[in-house]
Amino acid sequence: MMMTLKFLVLTIFTFSQIYSYGQPMLDDIQLERIQQRKVRKYIESQIEEGKHEFNEIQPSWNSGKDLSSFRKKEMTFLLKENLPEVWQGYVSANPSKSWDGRKMAFGLLLLKFPVSIFYKNDSIMGVDIGQIYFLKLKLMLGIFNIPVAFEIITVDEDNKIIEFSYIEGNKSIGVQQVKFIDHGDDQTEIIHTSYYKSDSHFRDKWMYPHFHKIIINDFHRNMRRLLDLKRQSIALNE
C-alpha cells in the first residue's frame, strides 16, 4: 500500500514537471512589445519578487472572503438592448479594445490555462476565468500614469455576473463585480460594484472613488461603442 502511494505521488509529480516544462513564464514576456513603460516596470517587479510561473500571480480576493473591512463604490448603467445581447457582447469582446480608452491603456494579458501570453495587437476573443490584465491608468491629463493588474475570477453565465480581483501586490486590493439585470422593454441594467482598500486612508477616501469613477465610465463607454459596432455589422450582413 505504501509503495503504491509513493508511486502515485511520484507519477503526479513527474507529470506536473513534464507539463510545466516548456510552458511560457513571466521571464518569457517580450517586454519590448509592451508600449507602456510603467507596465513593463510592473511586470519586472513581479519577476524580481520571485514570481516566474503564471499561477504564482494570485488574486487579492476570492469568492467567500469577508468584505466587511472593504470600502464600497457602486455605479449603475442602463443600456437600451436586451440582456442576452448585452451579456454576450461583454463576454465576447476583445479585452485589448474594451480596456483601452481615453483614461486607460491595455498593456498585456496573461492566461493561466492554457498558459498563454497576449500582446495588444494579438487576437484575444472574450473574457475568461484566469485571465490577468495589465493596464496603465492615465490620470490627471497623463500627469499620473499608474500600472494596475487584475484577474478574472468569475464568469457566471446563469446569474450574469463577471468578477475580477486586483492581484496581490497591487496598490489597492479587493474585487469588482459587474452584474447584468433584465430591466424590461429591451433594456439592461448593469451594476458595477467595487470593494477596495489599501494601506492609505487618504487614497481610499479621496483618490480611489474619484479616479475609479473615471476609469469605469471609460470602460463602459468602450463597451457601448463595441456593442454599437457589432449591431451595425450584423445589420449590414442581414
Rounded Cα distance between 126 and 114, Å, is: 15
Residue 14 lies in a domain: no
Reading the block at residue 65, the C-alpha cell is: 472572503
Rounded Cα distance between 141 and 86, Å, is: 31
Residue 66 lies in a domain: yes
Residue 88 lies in a domain: yes
pLDDT in tens, 102-135: 999 999 999 999 999 999 989 888 999 999 999 9
Q: How confident is the model at residue 44 (pLDDT cuts 50, 70, 90)?
A: very high
Element housing 75 (H / E): strand 71-79
In the predicted structure, residue 224 carries a pLDDT above the cut 60: yes
* Helices of type H across the chain: 2-20, 37-48, 83-92, 95-98, 201-202, 208-237
Rounded Cα distance between 222 and 224, Å, is: 6
Tell me, what CATH number does 155's domain have?
3.30.530.20
pLDDT in tens, 49-99: 999 999 999 999 998 899 999 999 999 999 999 999 999 999 999 999 999
Residue 38 lies in a domain: yes
Residue 16 lies in a domain: no
Domain range enclosing 172:
25-237
pLDDT in tens, 190-200: 999 999 999 99
What is the structure's pLDDT at 20?
A: 46
How does DSSP assign 100-127, residue by residue?
A: -SSSEEEEEEEETTTTEEEETTS---S-
Distance of CA 150 to the CA centre of its chain: 5
Rounded Cα distance between 163 and 192, Å, is: 10
Residue 183 lies in a domain: yes
Instruction: Determine the residue type at 166.
Output: Y
Please check whether residue 176 is in contact with residue 101, taking contact to mean a CB–CB distance below 8 angstroms: no
Count of domains forming the chain: 1
What is the structure's pLDDT at 4?
A: 53
Residues in the chain: 238
What single-letter DSSP state applies at residue 205? I
pLDDT in tens, 128-185: 999 999 999 998 766 778 999 999 999 999 999 999 999 998 989 999 999 999 999 9
b/e 172-207 (16+ beta carbons within 10 angstroms → b)? bbbbbbbbbbeeeeeebbbebebbbbbeeeebbeeb
Write down the mean pLDDT value for the chain. Answer: 89
Strand order in the sheet with 144-156: 71-79, 187-197, 173-184, 161-166, 144-156, 131-139, 104-111, 116-119
